[in-house]
Structure 1
């Protein structure tokens, strides 16, 4: 039986491997994964999206500002249509600036975390007997495995 587990590369992983060896499990294979070093693309394509959008806040604020501009435009000099369009443009730009600021803050925070020494994850493959799988699973979960899967 094989048990696959993912860990962050910490001392707990080393302790888990040592504990497994003490329990008589000798077939342990660890594969370190390297973190992504490439910057994500700023704009999403049609088939690839990361859930971050720059225009959603802009569209919402454009609607809100256009509504206020059009309603105030009945009193102001240029009329409701012109002030509605000015409000829509100003709201859209405000939303873009807001989204861009959030992106820059989020990106700066992630870069600092990577620079501080964020390590990659490790896949641990343990081959054991069927009667040992419960002990192996308990050891892996006790040492903060991120995920676990088993095959027979």
Structure 2
């Protein structure tokens, strides 16, 4: 049980700080699709892949004091920033995690904006489909985002780049 908690703490620690609940969901989903051993189950929701399990696990980690959740007021909404605490660092030292390439991938993903990660995670969610079918899904399910074909091409290229990073180490 606590091994899965440690993986989430490790991910946030590797990323430094993650700003946004949606972004955190997308980062963990993408990492899972890159074959990193995250166990949370995801289903497709309004903003793309979403895991209730991950939401609950993050809440537990914040309640235990292992993660810090800071709520910041933005233009008409609140944004949440997550970082590891000192007790979280202590907790991590009690769990051996062998994911050497995870840090590079997470730092890279964390540098991307949430809109792009939503596109990347949506492409990965439908990775069993042919590319033209994925493009159609994006046009239908993500019509409000108005993703261009160029952005979709960039998402596919970014996925390839992340796959290379994930197997380098």
Q: TM-score, normalised by structure 2?
A: 0.19
Q: Per residue, is there more helix in 1 or in 2?
A: 2
Higher RCO, 1 vs 2 (CA within 8 Å, ≥6 residues apart): 1
Q: TM-score, normalised by structure 1?
A: 0.21
> Whose radius of gyration is greater, 1 or 2?
1
